[in-house]
């Protein structure tokens, strides 16, 4: 009588267990692969772009602040502070103006200065090369300025006089400040008065 051996059962157990283990590993791999694919697709998505912003319209005149000061006014209830802004505007084609504005807020003072500069704008007579015809010399308050044509030298000037000539579009000139005044507003207004003499001649 033959006695059953345990070898076939163990072989069967090992044979059935091994595929199950392999199968479970195979099932896990595609799952990880799918998750990676989803992640790749999500990472490669391009962000949606909204409507393009309209480009800002270029202002009519170029502007530059030459001085900004905090001024104090003493009143019955105490001191009141405000800001004083001096500004030069121009189109670099012959038009230039100097203005001043005062307000409790800096932005409001800048707007006032710009409006004031537009009111005081002048036109500088120049030739086709943006050069002036002759020397001019003037004095405004404590500032004394002289502007001379200098062909081929470019714009040689300092302080706020240079700002006025640059925004007016004047080229090949030399400017000299004879006074010791450091007041940029007075220097700029002296330069404008000098350019007015060109207009008169």
Alpha helices, DSSP H only, in 80-158? 106-119
**Total-model pTM:** 0.67
Distance, in Å, from the CA atom of 140 to the CA atom of 145, rounded to the nearest integer, reads 8
Alpha helices, DSSP H only, in 44-183? 106-119, 159-168
The pair of three-digit structure tokens given for residue 72, joined into one six-digit string: 């104090």
pLDDT at 80 over 70: yes
Distance, in Å, from the CA atom of 100 to the CA atom of 151, rounded to the nearest integer, reads 33
15 — pLDDT class (breaks 50, 70, 90): very low
Of all residues in the chain, the percent with pLDDT exceeding 70 is 70
State residue 10's pLDDT score: 47
The pair of three-digit structure tokens given for residue 137, joined into one six-digit string: 């010399």
Strand-strand pairing, 155-156 and 173-177? parallel
Fold of the CATH domain 62-200 = Double Stranded RNA Binding Domain (3.30.160)
């Amino acid at each position: 009588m033959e006695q059953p051996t345990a070898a076939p059962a163990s072989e069967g157990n090992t044979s059935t267990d091994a595929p199950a283990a392999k199968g479970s590993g195979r099932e896990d791999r595609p799952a990880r692969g799918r998750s990676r694919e989803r992640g790749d697709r999500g990472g490669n998505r391009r962000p949606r772009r909204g409507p393009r912003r309209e480009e800002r319209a270029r202002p009519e005149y170029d502007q530059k602040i030459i001085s900004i000061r905090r001024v104090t006014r003493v009143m019955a209830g105490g001191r009141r502070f405000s800001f004083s802004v001096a500004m030069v505007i121009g189109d670099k084609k012959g038009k230039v103006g100097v203005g001043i504005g005062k307000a409790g807020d800096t932005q409001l003072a800048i707007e006032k200065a710009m409006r004031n500069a537009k009111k005081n704008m002048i036109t500088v007579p120049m030739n086709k090369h943006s050069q002036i015809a002759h020397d001019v010399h003037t004095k405004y308050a404590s500032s004394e300025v002289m502007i001379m044509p200098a062909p081929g030298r470019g714009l040689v000037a300092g302080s706020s006089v240079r700002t006025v000539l640059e925004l007016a579009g004047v080229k090949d000139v030399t400017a000299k400040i004879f006074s010791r005044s450091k007041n940029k507003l007075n220097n700029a207004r002296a330069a404008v008065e000098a350019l007015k003499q060109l207009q008169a001649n």
